Amino acid sequence: MNKRAKQNEPLVTHIYTADPSAHVFEDKIYIYPSHDLEHDGVSDDEGNQYTMEDYHVFSMDDIDAPVVDHGQVLHVDDVPWASEKMWAPDAAYKNGTYYFYFPAKDKDGIFRIGVATSKSPAGPFTPEPNYIPGTFSIDPAVFVDDDGSAYMYIGGIWGGQLEKWQTGEFVATTGLQDPSKEAISVYVAKMNEDMLSLAEPLKESKILDKNDRPLLAGDEDRRFFEAPWVFKNNGTYYFTYSTGSSHYIAYATSDSPMGPYTYRGRILEPVIGWTTHHSIVKFKGKWYLFYHDSSLSGGIDHRRSIKFTEIKFNKDGTIQTIFPYK
C-alpha cells in the first residue's frame, strides 16, 4: 500500500514529477504533473534538460491519504502535431467532460498548446488532432469562473519562447528583454463553450505595482517568468506565478479574471532546484499549495518531486509567505 501523504514531503517517489496542477474533482484531489525523465543530457536556459514525453495522473481521497498513480494517460507519440517537450499541463471540467491541456513543440520547434479529453478525471485522455488555434508558449492554466466562463492563461519566457511573439508572429532571433522596458507578462483569452478553442485572441495582461505602473523586465524579484495559475477567493482573482530567475512564487490580485493585476507579494520562497512551479486549490475548507523541488534527487534540477503544504490568508486577503524548509 502507498504511504500516506505528508505536507512538505515528496508525494510520489517511484518516478520524478514536477509542475503539479491540483484540482478537486469528484470529491477527491487530482494532480496533473509533468514527468521528469532521468538522463545525463545538456542543461541550458532553453530548458533542454527537461525531456518529458508523457503524463501520469495522481489522486488523493483526502489530504493525508495515500497517493494513487493512475498510470500514463497521454504520450507525445499519441499527439499527431507534437514533436517533443510535454511540459507543465493543466486540467479542467465542464459539460460532463474532463479537459487536459498541455504544451509541446510542434514539428517546427514552436511551442503550442494542445488539449485532450476524457470522461474520467483519471484519464486516459484522447488528444485533439491539432493544437488549439492561436496558442503559443507554455504552461497553460485554465480557470473556470463561478458563472461557467473559462479562461486560458499561458506564458513562459526564455525556454518558453514568449518574448519571441511580440510582433504577433514567431521570430526565432528575438533576444532577451531590455531590463528597462515593461516586462512581457502573461497572456490570457476567454475560451469557447466547447473548451477546445479560444473565443478571442490571446492578449497580454500586465502586472502593476502599487502605483499602477507595469513591472519592468529588470525587476526579476516581481516580474512574470512562467507558471501562471489563477484562483478566486472572496470575490478577488489571484494571479500566481513563478519569477523564474529569482525563484519565487509570487502573486497579484484583480477584480477581473482578465486583469490587469496588482502585485501583492510572495507565496513561496526558493526551493531546492532551479525551477519553481505550483498550483493552489481549496479542499474541505482549507487552501493548499502544490509545488515541487529537487530534494529527493539531491538537487538535480531535472529530477523533481511534487509536494504540498497548507497556505493561509490574512484578514485583508494577503497570503502568508511560506518558507519551505523551516
Residue 159 C-alpha cell reads as: 525556454
Query: Angle at Cα 110 formed by Cα 186 and Cα 54, nearest 5°?
Result: 90
- Report pLDDT digits (tens) over 290-315: 999 999 999 998 999 999 999 999 99
CA–CA separation, 307 and 283 (whole Å): 16
Report the pLDDT value the prediction gives residue 35, as an integer from 0 to 100.
97
Residues 230 and 281: beta-carbon distance below 8 Å: no
Active site residues: 19, 226
Name 229's Cβ contacts closer than 8 Å, sequence gap at least 6: 21, 141, 153, 239, 240, 241, 278, 279, 280
- Report pLDDT digits (tens) over 55-90: 999 999 999 999 999 999 999 999 999 999 999 999
Cα torsion for 35, 76, 167, 245, to the nearest 10°? 10
Asked whether the whole model's pTM tops 0.85, one would answer: yes
Report the pLDDT value the prediction gives residue 1, as an integer from 0 to 100.
44
High-pLDDT (> 90) share of the chain, %: 93
Q: What is the sign of the dihedral through the CA atoms of 125, 127, 128 and 131?
A: positive
- Report pLDDT digits (tens) over 220-272: 999 999 999 999 999 999 999 999 999 999 999 999 999 999 999 999 999 99
Q: What is the 3-state secondary structure (H, E, C) of 146-212?
A: CCCCEEEEECECHHHCHHHHCCCCCCCCCCCCCCCCECCCCEEEEECCCCCCECCCCEECCEECCCC
Residue 96 C-alpha cell reads as: 460532463
CA–CA separation, 246 and 275 (whole Å): 10
Alpha-carbon distance values, 296 to 26, 53, 113, 186, 301 (Å) = 30, 21, 30, 31, 11
Report the pLDDT value the prediction gives residue 4, as an integer from 0 to 100.
86
Report the pLDDT value the prediction gives residue 2, as an integer from 0 to 100.
65
Across the chain, which distance is largest between two alpha carbons, in Å? 54
Query: Angle at Cα 56 formed by Cα 51 and Cα 60, nearest 5°?
Result: 135
Q: Which residues pair with 116 in a beta bridge?
A: 100, 127
Q: Which domains does the chain have, with CATH numbers?
A: 16-311 (2.115.10.20)
Query: What distance lies between CA 238 and its chain's CA centroid?
Result: 14
Average pLDDT over residues 91-120: 98
Report the pLDDT value the prediction gives residue 49, as an integer from 0 to 100.
75
Alpha-carbon distance values, 278 to 17, 75, 81 (Å) = 12, 22, 27
CA–CA separation, 73 and 323 (whole Å): 33
- Report pLDDT digits (tens) over 313-325: 999 999 999 999 9
